[in-house]
Chains A and B, each alone.
Chain A
Amino acid sequence: MTQATQHSSRPGAGSSEPLLSVRDLRVTFQRQGEEEFHAVDGVSFDVRPGQTVGLVGESGCGKSVTSLAIMGLLPGRGNRVSGSAIFDGEDLLTLSPSAMRDRRGSEIAMIFQDPLSSLNPVISIGRQVTEVMERHQGLSRKQATPKAADLLERVGIPDPKARLLNYPHQLSGGMRQRALIAMALACNPRLLIADEPTTALDVTIQAQILALLKELVVDTGTALVMITHDLGVVAGLCDEVNVLYGGKVVERGGRHGLFRDPRHPYTVGLLNSIPRLDAARGDKLSPVPGSVADNLPWTAACAFAPRCSNAIDPCTAETPQWEGDQVVGFRCFNPMGGTR
Chain B
Amino acid sequence: MDDNTGPSRRPTLGDRRKERIDALATAGTVVDEPGKSLLRSAWERLRRDPVFLVGAAITLVFVVLAIISPWIAPWDVTANPLIDKVRPQSNPVPGPEPGHLLGADDRGRDLFSRLLVGSRQTLVVGVFATLLGLLGGITLGALAGAIGGFVDTVVMRIVDVMLSFPALLLAFTIASLAREPSQWTLIIAIATTQVPIFARLLRGSMLAQRSSDHVLAARSLGVRPRAIVFRHMLPNAMGPVIVQATLSLATAIIEAAALSFLGLGNPDQRQPEWGQMLGLAQRYISEAPHLAFYPAGCIIVVALGFTLMGESLREALDPKSRR
Contacts and interface: CB of A to CB of B under 8 A. Distances in A.
A260 B4 CA distance: 17
A290 B29 contact: yes
26 contacts: A262-B10, A262-B11, A268-B10, A268-B11, A269-B13, A272-B12, A276-B7, A278-B5, A278-B7, A286-B12, A287-B26, A289-B20, A289-B24, A289-B26, A290-B24, A291-B27, A293-B29, A294-B29, A309-B14, A309-B16, A309-B20, A310-B13, A310-B16, A311-B20, A336-B11, A337-B11
A289 B50 CA distance: 42
Majority SS at the chain A contact face: loop
A272 B13 contact: yes
A89 interface: no
Contacts of B12: 272, 286
B8 interface: yes
Contacts of B29: 290, 293-294
A191 to B, nearest CB: 32
Contacts of A259: 8
B28 interface: yes
A293 B25 CA distance: 13
Contacts of A265: 13
- Closest CB pairs A-B (n = 5): A290-B28, A309-B17, A291-B28, A309-B13, A289-B21
Contacts of A286: 12-13, 17
A276 to B, nearest CB: 6
B152 to A, nearest CB: 28
Nearest to A263: B11
A290 B20 CA distance: 11
B48 interface: yes
B3 interface: yes
B14 A310 contact: yes
B99 interface: no
B6 interface: yes
A260 B8 CA distance: 7
A278 B4 contact: yes
A309 B21 contact: yes
A286 B18 CA distance: 10
A260 B20 CA distance: 25
A33 B8 CA distance: 49
A147 interface: no
Interface string B254-295: 000000000000000000000000000000000000000000
Category for how many chain A residues contact B: 20 to 34
A279 B7 contact: yes
Interface of B: 3-8, 10-14, 16-17, 20-21, 24, 26-29, 48
Contacts of A311: 20
A163 to B, nearest CB: 33
A218 interface: no
Contacts of B3: 278
Contacts of A271: 10
Nearest to B22: A289
A255 interface: no
B10 A272 contact: yes
B255 to A, nearest CB: 37
B8 A306 contact: no
Contacts of B20: 289, 309, 311
A289 B20 CA distance: 9
Contacts of B48: 33
Interface in A279-307: 279, 286-287, 289-291, 293-294, 306-307
Contacts of A293: 28-29
A259 B6 CA distance: 14
Given A33-B48, A294-B29, A306 B7 contact: no
Contacts of B10: 262, 268, 271-272
Contacts of A260: 8
Given A276-B7, A278-B6, A278-B7, A294 B13 contact: no
Contacts of B4: 278
B48 to A, nearest CB: 7
Nearest to B24: A289
